[in-house]
Amino acid sequence: MPQPGWSKKRERQYEHILDGLTDSGRSEDEAEEIAARTVNKERARAGESETASRTSTEDISSGRRGGLRSHSGAGGRTRDQLYAEACKRNISGRSTMTKAELERALSR
């Protein structure tokens, strides 16, 4: 659902994001909304849109934000993220576990 006024580059960007989201299991409607919002934010950051909110132009870029949330690097996932997964797997004793203990319990 590329918008009128998007450049060919932005249409390709939309399709790329849409494909990635649907491949990762998002519903079609949700994937379309996220992809359109991402492209519109990037357009605002690049000065391609007529209007832009302050957060669109001053916040970190979508690519950087996604990289920060990719759970890679020295810190890995947060304790809250590990705890949520432990809840899903119904691991007993999770409420008193530290981050390291949660990581060990989830790796079993």
Q: How many domains does the chain have?
A: 2
| C-alpha torsion 82→106→76→97, nearest 10 | 50
Residues 6+ apart with CB under 8 A from 50: none
In angstroms, the CA 50 to CA 58 distance is: 16
62 and 76 inside one domain: no
26 and 61 inside one domain: yes
DSSP 95: G
Condensed to tens digits (0 to 9), the pLDDT of residues 1-38 reads 667 778 899 899 999 999 998 988 889 999 999 999 88
Q: Quote the pTM value.
A: 0.52
Question: Phi and psi (nearest 5°) for 49?
Answer: -105, 155
Give me the residue label for tokens 């934000």.
65
The domain in which residue 35 lies consists of 8-68
**If you average pLDDT over every residue of the chain, what do you get?**
83
61 and 87 inside one domain: no
Tokens of residue 81, six digits:
């993220």
64 and 20 inside one domain: yes
83 and 48 inside one domain: no
Residue 98 burial (10 A CB sphere; 0-12, 13-18, 19+): exposed
